[in-house]
Structure 1
Amino acid sequence: MDSRFNVFIVCLAIGVTFVNGQRPSPGGCPKITSNAMNNTAKFDINKYAGIWYELERSFNVFEIGLRCITAEYLAKSDGTVGVVNRGISKWGQKVTIEGSGRVADRSKPSYLKVAFKYSPEAPYWIADTDYTNYAIVVSCSDLFGLFRVDSIWILSRTPDLPQSTMDALHSYVDRLGLSSSALSRVDQSNCPN
């Protein structure tokens, strides 16, 4: 292959990574089917709506230095989803960013396209949820199946989950073809209401 093409691919990958705030990996995105873990066939955005605590995440440039992160999802009457992410910076400042999502494929209602101010629309899979305790969320884009950028989040309705549940969620992330070892804990201690 021409070395200029290789340089182009590397520059493109770096650009996509920083635009989407995701981490790079070799290979294509995994094939994700909604709610495979609990065998729920149909995703329900109204049951998913509400506040979720971010317990673990893979590297995401937009969340560097943040703790006490929550995501609030609002099912709107027009079929879109309001998204409000909140956190506390390492300097103690409250950080809020609002966005919106839409179902990207009616046959896959847990597959959304989500956009925040100053960012392009990104794929957003609710890979699994039981609606009342946990959710696994994945964002992934690939370049011809050779290279991908992805983000993984483990969310909960409470600031903590039992270790046995976390172990099962890590196992599921690995079965998706992603790496649970890429996840790091989000500090949810001493958070304001």
Structure 2
Amino acid sequence: MTARAVRKARTLPPLQVAAHVDLEKYMGTWYEIGRYPLASEDGCTEAQATYTLRPDGHVQVINQCLKNGEIKDVRGTAKVVDPTTNAKLKVTFFWPFKGDYWIMKVGPEQEGIGYRYALVGHPYRETLWILAREASLPQETLDELLTLAQQQGYEDLDRMVWRNDGTH
């Protein structure tokens, strides 16, 4: 965590998460509609993540994107750290490093696919993702999610990196 993030964390209220996330409805493939810039995703386009619930209750995570004309992927594991809500997870891609993955909002359910969209963040506002089951979202939904992010203390939303396939 950067010194700036530590200072910011001291002044921000706790990040509010979804009241309850049904993990079964969260599983499946998500398209990354927008995100805060991440070094690990530099040069990536058409990013998506696939989540699979394992028998031990952990979640298998496969992130992939198109980079320099090739599909790149990274695999990890997520563990629920707040079983009351199922909205706070710790994700590990490279042991021993773990990252916070807090689900702030999930969209309405759609039969056969689970939740339609999700807003995911970090308690220190270091990361932010807008995810959807399809490669785009209506502008009204995007505006709602960005407003919620701002209300939760996310600044500089102009720095969002949007899906590079022409949709958002």
- TM-score bracket relative to the smaller structure: 0.7 to 0.9
User: Does the CA-based 8 Å contact 1:115-1:121 persist in structure 2?
Assistant: yes
Match of 1:186 in 2: 163
Match of 1:5 in 2: none
1:58 aligns with 2:36: yes
Match of 1:160 in 2: 136
- The SS at the match of 1:102 is strand
Aligned structure 1 segments of 4 or more residues deviating by more than 6 angstroms: none
Q: Which runs of 5+ in 2 are unaligned?
A: 108-113
Q: 1:188 to 1:33 in 2, by over 3 A?
A: same
User: Does the CA-based 8 Å contact 2:125-2:154 persist in structure 1?
Assistant: no
Identity %: 28
User: Does the CA-based 8 Å contact 1:69-1:188 persist in structure 2?
Assistant: no
| Cα deviation digits, residues 155-184 of structure 1 (max 9, x gap) | 010001111111111101101111233312
Q: 1:132 to 1:109 in 2, by over 3 A?
A: closer
1:83 aligns with 2:61: yes
Which amino acid letter does the alignment assign opposite residue 149 of structure 2?
Answer: V
| Cα deviation digits, residues 18-44 of structure 1 (max 9, x gap) | xxxxx9585116522322xxxxx3211
Mapped to 1, the partners of 2:37 and 2:115 lie a distance apart of: 26
Q: Which has the larger radius of gyration?
A: 1
Matches within 5 A, 1:1-193: 13=2, 24=5, 26-28=7-9, 30-35=13-18, 41-89=19-67, 91-117=68-94, 120-130=97-107, 131-140=114-123, 148=124, 150-179=126-155, 180-188=157-165
Does 44-53 or 115-124 show the bigger shift? 115-124
- The SS at the match of 1:62 is helix
User: Does the CA-based 8 Å contact 1:54-1:186 persist in structure 2?
Assistant: yes
Does 150-159 or 26-35 show the bigger shift? 26-35
